Amino acid sequence: MFTIHKYEKMSYQIILRANITIEVENCNFRTITFLFLYALKDLFQEYVSKVLLHYFEEKYENMDLAKLLGVRIVKKKTTKRTTKFKTLFGSILVPQIQVRVVDFEGKKRQMSITRLLLGVSPMFQIPDFMKEIVAWIGSVSTFRVGHNIIGILSNFKCSLMSVWNSVQWGASRIKLELSPEGTDETQADGTGIPTIKTGKRGSELKKIFQIKRDGKLHLIGMSIGKYKSVSDWKSIVSEPLLAIINQFGRVFVGTDGDKSIIESVLSLSEKVKIQFDIWHVFHQMKYYLWADGLAKDSRSKIIAHFYKKAMLLKCSAKKRDYFIRRYISLLASGGLSKTATYLKSSMTYFYTHEKEGNSTLYTTKTERSMRTTNQRINVGVWSDSGALNVAKIRDAYYYNGISPLNWKNRA
């Protein structure tokens, strides 16, 4: 028996009195736990139906329904149809609420508003809060593992396609905004993603992070597309970088030297300052010294020597720059032209943090964030949208704290 007491506007106190018959074969905890869970389905179905009908009647009588639907007139329509939903207790059937409406232009039509009242997206049987949970599970584990986990822990029968659809839906609802604790420093980088019909290199997943006051990363932009695409980079960096400029008057962009990133951000404003990832400069020296034909032992010595000149030399910036220019000239005259050319171009944005007086940007943490992405992505070949949506949910969870883990507290 259900007793419903109205105690304030739009609020009800529901008292459940029910006799549940459960046939048990033994007292094993596993057995009695799942038998009880199965028995709750009918009770939950009745509970949802009663709540739905009572709130519908309340909104209809108070004329709130027309405002909710954005129409002029709403009339009830009786029907014996039901709507199916997938819940933690299993699939349930609730009354399908239909109405006849007249819009402000005088047009008449019929509407089913069951999903609207229950907060379920059109065409879905899974409630939105459960789709958030499924999307998160699908981003931190493989779809097949997530599908099995959900089935183990509840009576919710979730297909692999439901997991995939939930991930696409969940990613579309995530807004990547600036952090309230953010600074004027950002970092941008890309990584290769195995995608369909894109050859061995795949597509490039592009990320831009804002640095918070505690030094941690906050994701503010992400896209996927071709390598070295200036237009792709510009599409994700324009809005957040211009917002940071409006807030702080300037913005620093840390990068590993990718020319497409540099070109895209410098075209936005003269208030954009480029800072090279200093660790990456010394790392890249290994490649250029190899390209110049230098032996491995000699490469290490050259890198160590240049590090002392660039980072540890205790003198004025003017004198240090003189020693660096001289050292690069010696490399060029010694037959290491590729290395010399690379270092000469790198010095343009090597000491931005000193010249502009911002906090030291020695290395970008964005490179490390790629491990977070690759742990999930490197299990197969993806479509561009599939890879982007999984990475977006996953990174938003790890770096922005966006997840449904606190869904019980939000109820």
**pLDDT tens-digit map of 157-205:** 788 888 999 999 999 999 999 999 999 999 999 999 999 988 878 899 9
Q: Pairing relation of β-strands 251-255 and 272-276? A: parallel
Dihedral in degrees, nearest 10, Cα atoms 349, 374, 240, 224: 100
Model confidence at 11, in pLDDT bands (50, 70, 90)?
Answer: low
CA distance 278 to 161: 44
Between 15 and 253, the more confident residue is: 253
C-alpha torsion sign, points 17, 21, 27, 30: negative
86 DSSP β-pair partners: 91
> Which of the 8 DSSP states describes residue 311?
I
> Per residue in 345-380, pLDDT tens?
999 899 888 888 876 666 778 888 888 888 899 888
Q: How would you classify the pairing of strands 217-225 and 82-87?
A: unpaired
Q: Which of 56, 65, 96, 91 is nearest to 79 (CA)?
A: 96
3 state DSSP class of 217: strand
Neighbours of 357 (CB within 10 A): 6
Which two three-digit tokens encode residue 42?
């009918």
Residues 30 and 21 sit within 8 Å (Cβ to Cβ)? no
Give the predicted TM-score (pTM) of the model.
0.83
* Predicted pLDDT of residue 265: 94
**Inter-residue contact 195 to 383 (CB < 8 Å):** yes
SS3 225: strand
What count of residues does the chain have? Answer: 411
First to last CA, the chain: 25
Average pLDDT value for residue range 326-351: 92
Helix/strand/coil for 308: helix
111 phi-psi bin (left φ>0, alpha ψ -120 to 50, beta other): beta
pLDDT tens profile 14-51: 777 777 888 888 889 988 888 888 888 888 998 899 88
Q: What distance in Å separates the CA atoms of residue 58 and residue 49, rounded to the nearest whole number?
A: 14
Which residues are within 8 A (CB) of 360 and not within 5 positions of it... i.e. 6 or more apart?
353
H-assigned helices in 78-159:
114-118, 128-140, 143-153
Residue ranges of the domains in the chain?
2-125, 126-173, 177-275+369-402, 278-360
Tokens matching residue 312: 């540890």
